[in-house]
Structure 1
C-alpha cells in the first residue's frame, strides 16, 4: 500500500494557527514601531493572548516572527516537491518560486507586505536578523532531499543546488523589500536571481 501522510491533529492545527496569529501581530508591531520599542507584552496584547501563553510558544519576542517567515519558505519547498519530474532544475525552481510568491487561498497578498516590513527593520535589529538567517539555514537543509533527485546521485551537487537556490530567494526578497516595487514583482526578481545563481548547475 502507498504511504499516506498523516494529517496533523486538531491540537497541532490549533497550535499552528495560534503561532501564526502571534507572528502576524509581532510582524505588524515590529514594522510599525520597530523591534526596540515593541515588547513581548505588546505582542501578546495585540494577539489577544496572555504573556504566559506567549512564552509557552516563543522564547523571545524576535522568535515570534519565525512562523510567518517559515510559511513562505515552506510554500516554496512544497511547490518544488510537487513539480513534474521531467521539469529541469532551473525551470522547477523558477515555477515553484513564482507560485509561492503569488497570492492564493491561504497565502494572502498581505503576507508579502508583512515580510517586507520585517526585512526593512532588520538592519538595526541583530536578534531579528538572526531569526531570518536561521529560517533560511533550515530551508537550505530542507531543500537538499527535494533537489537531490534532480541533481543526480552526487550529494555535493544537491547541497550546492540547495545553497544556491536558497541564497537566490533570500537575496531576491531582501532586494525587493528594500525597493518600492509592488508585490507582483517579487516573483520576477526571484526568477532572475534563481537563473543567475543556478546557472552553473545542471539545467
Structure 2
C-alpha cells in the first residue's frame, strides 16, 4: 500500500513490473506452442483452442492476448526488431550506420536465433496469414524508425527522405532475417551467420543512405 504521503511503496512499485514480466512470459510461451503446432500439423489444421490447451490456459485467456491464432507468433517475430530499435537509440554521433552495426555484431551478443524462430520465418514465406503478421510487425516498426532517423538528421518523421530511409532500413532488417532462415542449398557446406546476413543487408542498404 502507499505511504501516508501518497508515495508508492517498493512493493507497489514492483507489482506492475512483475505483472508485465509474467504477461510477456505467457505471450512468449503461447508463441512457441503456436509455432510447434503450426510446424507439426500445419497452420490451417491448428485451432486457437489447441494452442491454448498446449499452454495450459483457457481459450478466452489466449484471445485476450492475441486476436487471431496467426498473431500468436508475433512475440517471436518482433524479437530481432526490438533489439535493432534498442541499439539504434544508442547510435553514436559521427558513426555511420554500417560501422555502428559492425561494432555491435563484433562486441555485443545478438538475440538468440532458435530453431523455432527459423521455422517460423520460413513459414512466413509460404503461409499468407503468417506472412501478413510478419509484414505487419515490420510495418509497426516504421514509425519508430522514422523518428530515430529524423532525430539523426535533424528533420521530421514526415520528411520524404526520412520515410524512404526508414523503409530501406526496415527492408534490410527483414531481408537479413529471411536470408538467414533460408535452408542451405543441397550440397552446400557453408551456413549463414545472422551477423553476416545483417551486415550484408545493411551494406546493400547503405549504398543509397547518407548516414
TM-score by length of 1: 0.82
Aligned 8 A contact 1:25 1:46 in 2: yes
Deviation at 1:65, TM superposition (A): 0.5
In the TM superposition, structure 1's runs of 4+ consecutive aligned residues that sit over 3 Å from their partners are: 6-9, 93-96
Deviation at 1:21, TM superposition (A): 1.3
Name the CA distance, whole Å, in 1 between partners of 2:199 and 2:70. 29
1:157 is matched with which residue: 161, 164, 167? 161
Q: Cα 1:31–1:142, aligned 2, differ >3 Å: closer, same or farther?
A: farther
Name the CA distance, whole Å, in 1 between partners of 2:113 and 2:72. 20
Name the CA distance, whole Å, in 1 between partners of 2:137 and 2:103. 22
2:49 is matched with which residue: 34, 41, 47? 41
Q: Cα 1:125–1:202, aligned 2, differ >3 Å: closer, same or farther?
A: same
Aligned 8 A contact 1:151 1:202 in 2: no
Name the CA distance, whole Å, in 1 between partners of 2:65 and 2:169. 30
Q: Cα 1:95–1:22, aligned 2, differ >3 Å: closer, same or farther?
A: farther
Which secondary structure does the structure 1 equivalent of 2:85 belong to? helix
Which residue of the partner structure matches residue 66 of structure 2?
A: 58
Larger Rg: 2
TM-score by length of 2: 0.79
Which residue of the partner structure matches residue 3 of structure 1?
A: none
Indicate yes or no: 2:87 matched with 1:85.
no
Taking CA–CA contacts closer than 8 Å with sequence separation of 6 or more, which of the two structures ends up with the larger relative contact order? 1
Deviation at 1:11, TM superposition (A): 2.4
Q: Cα 1:84–1:159, aligned 2, differ >3 Å: closer, same or farther?
A: same
Matches within 5 A, 1:159-198: 159-180=163-184, 182=191, 185-198=193-206
Which residue of the partner structure matches residue 132 of structure 2?
A: 130
Q: Tell me which moved more, 171-180 or 146-155.
A: 146-155
Matches within 5 A, 1:93-112: 93-96=101-104, 98=105, 102-103=109-110, 107-110=111-114
Structure 2 stretches of 5 or more lacking a match?
Answer: 1-12, 185-189
RMSD over equivalenced CA pairs, Å: 2.5
Structure (1 or 2) with the greater helix fraction: 1
